[in-house]
Chains A and B, each alone.
Chain A
Amino acid sequence: MENLRAAIKAGDQQAVKVELDALLGEGHTAGELLDVMIESLREVGEAFSRGEAFITQMLIAAMAMQAGSDHLGPELVKSSGGTKLGKFMIATVSGDLHDVGKNLVALVFKANGFDVVDLGVDVPASRIVAAYEEHLPDIVGLSALLTTTMPAMAEAVQAVKMRYPHVKVMVGGAPITKKYAESIGADAYAPDAAAAAEVARKLLAV
């Protein structure tokens, strides 16, 4: 197990696969191994939130975790007790083409066991609402890097909430603050990708 943890943290996808095969061979279940990987990624996420790990470490650990869970195979994970936490849909709002933060959030959510629908960048409010109706996610996440696209974020939150008041909407991005999130009617704010996954778990009480 320690080698698996180390491989996730080092972002070594090859080593993750080798360790998983070895541990499965020893009789560990896929669900158990998935939990270990999630926990390892969470530790990297916590270090990231504390300013002790950086975007490089977050990205490679999340990608390694993704490779690991792909290697186990979704069916195997399911049959051995691994459960999805919920469905998370994410978009960078209209007028904003920045995707690194949004991608990182999507990766971390996937790695944490959420089903993730990524709508991409520069997504207008109308498309977010339509995608909600198509995918029915438990949480809608919205990202913006620019102050000039914060109004588009407010518009998207309103568009979703007007039709579907019960839907949980989370927001984040460099210029976004908790206060701003509250002012536009979002349910939650997170300062970074790792914190976002924790906030989402709390929102859904999972």
Chain B
Amino acid sequence: MNSRERFLTALNHEAPDRVPCDLGGWVTTISVIAYNSLLKELGIDREREVFDWLRQTVDPEEDILQRLGVDTRYVHAGRPRSWQFAPEQTDRGLYVVDEWGCGFVKTPTTLYYNLVDSPLAKAKIEDLDSYAWPDPCDPGLLDDVVERARKLAEEGQYAVIGDFAWETWYERAWKLRGMQQFYMDMALNRDFIHALLDKTLGLHLQFLDHVLSACGQYLDVVIQGGDLAGQQTTLMSPGDYREFVRPRQAKAIELIRRKTNARIFYHCCGAASSLIPDFIDLGIDILNPVQVRAHGMEAEGLKQRFGDKICFWGGIDSQQVLPTGSPTDVEAEVRHVLQAMAPGGGLVVCAVHNIQADVPPANVLALYDAIAKWGTYPLSLDI
């Protein structure tokens, strides 16, 4: 069984030879600091450049993916031609305005770029049409996409993942408005939120149409997302979710289904358990990152309630165990999550979100070594 077969079997809710694992996607990769420490730990004399400037993460290299036993390979969208990452030194720190007009700062003390300027903070509905939106069909976005997707699909060795969240239409909307204002508008200026989300979703659908028309047939999974929950609860009421978010998720899913047979991966951090029935209804195949330390997101409960209807992707705690635990703690956490979620397939295991800069290389190795050691079916995990 190769990686792709293993992966697809697990996604069919069947037990493959071992639990598939992941590293390298938009929200399943690793910080440049943690990655370069890992290279050093492995005695590899080179350094990797940042791939995602916003999150300061890397696109891991093939030898590392093989060393860690990773079953996925990514097709990332290219860089727009109309915009270049060119941060300026300002009194606030390194400052950059992205292709959407949002301003981000990285100070000497911060590990990544943080949103500081939201260009639509004071906008009215009538301002939206005249705003300088980025081009969702910028030819740069397809650079290397089709060639890489076709090559990976033809080789058939690894699961081919289309990393096409494009920052997500939902998160882009609040970045443009400012998070606090966005959530207040959700109660007090509802029409504006509808208009703004229509705009960002419309652009996202154009992007998806563009990119999936080019490479949809080669993909096993398409990445989508948008955080809808915090540590304790969802960020909005169930009613607001069903009014503002769900119908738009449905539109994106409908388009993806039309363009490709790939499974749909949805990234939503936090205490999202109350939304999972909606996700299942919508036809989302995979939930990521399974933030197990958030309220109501314990691995056992999720598997029991939803394990036959949706797959889980992630699950290894990054709020406590990975940054502060020992390698032995990491191994115990892996065993625990495998025990809870791996029976009968339906699990792709990796860290909850990107492996952060504070995760020591010994813990990264412990994570993937434990998956290799304990992830073989039939599982014998009793602790």
Q: Which of A49-84 touch B at CB < 8 Å? A: 51, 53-57, 59-60, 63
> Is A40 an interface residue when CB atoms closer than 8 A count as contact?
no
- Residues from chain B with a CB closer than 8 A to the CB of A63 are 184
Give residues 204-235 of B contacting A (CB, 8 Å): 230-235
A86 at the interface (CB under 8 A from B): no
B357 touches A11 (CB 8 A): no
Docked-complex contact A57 and B114, CB < 8 angstroms: no
How many angstroms between the C-alpha atoms of A71 and B115 in the bound complex?
32
**How far does the alpha carbon of A96 sit from the alpha carbon of B179 in the complex, in Å?**
16
Most buried by A among B107, B116, B231: B231
Known: A11-B184, A147-B319, A174-B319. A55 touches B109 (CB 8 A): no
Given A54-B236, A59-B180, are A148 and B187 neighbors across the interface (CB < 8 Å)?
A: no
Taking a contact as CB atoms closer than 8 A, the residue among B105, B183, B230 that contacts A59 in the complex is B183
Main SS at interface, chain B: loop
Task: Report how far A119 CA is from B184 CA in the complex, Å.
Answer: 23
Q: Which of B222-272 contact A (CB under 8 A)?
A: 230-237, 240
**B308 within 8 Å of A (CB atoms):** no
Q: How many residues of A contact B (CB 8 A)?
A: 31
A148 CB contact (under 8 Å) in B188, B232, B236, B358: B358
Q: Is the CB of A95 within 8 A of B109?
A: yes
Residues of A within 8 A of B102 (CB): none
> How close is B228's CB to chain A, nearest CB, in angstroms?
11
Interface string of B291-315 (1 = CB under 8 A from A): 0010100000000000000000000
| A83, B188: Cα distance in complex, Å | 30
| B72 sits at the interface (CB 8 A) | no
Q: Is the CB of A191 within 8 A of B232?
A: yes
Q: Is residue B283 contacting chain A, with contact meaning CB distance below 8 A?
A: no
- The reply to whether B110 and A95 contact each other, CB–CB distance below 8 Å, is yes
A112: Cβ under 8 A from any B Cβ:
no
Query: Which of these, B232, B293, B320, B356, contacts A51 with CB under 8 Å?
Result: B232
User: Could you say which residues of chain B place their CB within 8 Å of the CB of A96?
Assistant: 110
**Docked-complex contact A97 and B111, CB < 8 angstroms:** no
User: Is the beta-carbon distance between B319 and A148 smaller than 8 angstroms?
Assistant: no
In the complex the two chains form, is A11's CB within 8 Å of B187's CB? Answer: yes
State in angstroms the CA–CA spacing of A175 and B240 once bound together. Answer: 26
**B232 partner, pick from A10, A11, A100, A192, beta carbons under 8 A:** A192
Contact with B319, one of A60, A98, A124, A175 (Cβ below 8 angstroms): A175
B269 to A: closest C-beta gap in Å = 9
In the complex the two chains form, what is the Cα distance from A192 to B232 in whole Å? 8
Docked complex: A89-122 residues within 8 A CB-CB of B: 94-100, 103, 122
Which positions in B face A, CB cutoff 8 Å?
A: 105, 107, 109-111, 114, 116, 179-180, 183-184, 186-188, 230-237, 240, 293, 295, 318-320, 323-324, 356-358
Q: A-side interface residues toward B, CB under 8 Å?
A: 10-11, 48, 51, 53-57, 59-60, 63, 94-100, 103, 122, 124, 146-148, 152, 174-175, 177, 191-192
* A-B complex: 3 closest residue pairs judged by Cβ atoms: A97-B114, A174-B231, A95-B109
